[in-house]
Amino acid sequence: METNPVYYGLTAKIVLKEIGKNRIGLVKIIKSRIIQKDAVKIVATANQLKSVAPKLEVTLICTRNICSKSIALLEREGVDIEFVEL
Which domain range does residue 71 map to? 5-83
Is the pLDDT confidence value at 86 over 90? Answer: no
Quote the number of domains for the chain. Answer: 1
pLDDT by residue (tens digit) across 30-60?
989 999 999 999 999 999 999 999 999 999 9
55 CB burial (10 A radius; 0-12, 13-18, 19+): exposed
pLDDT at 72: 98
pLDDT tops 90 at residue 68: yes
CATH number of 55's domain: 3.40.1350.10
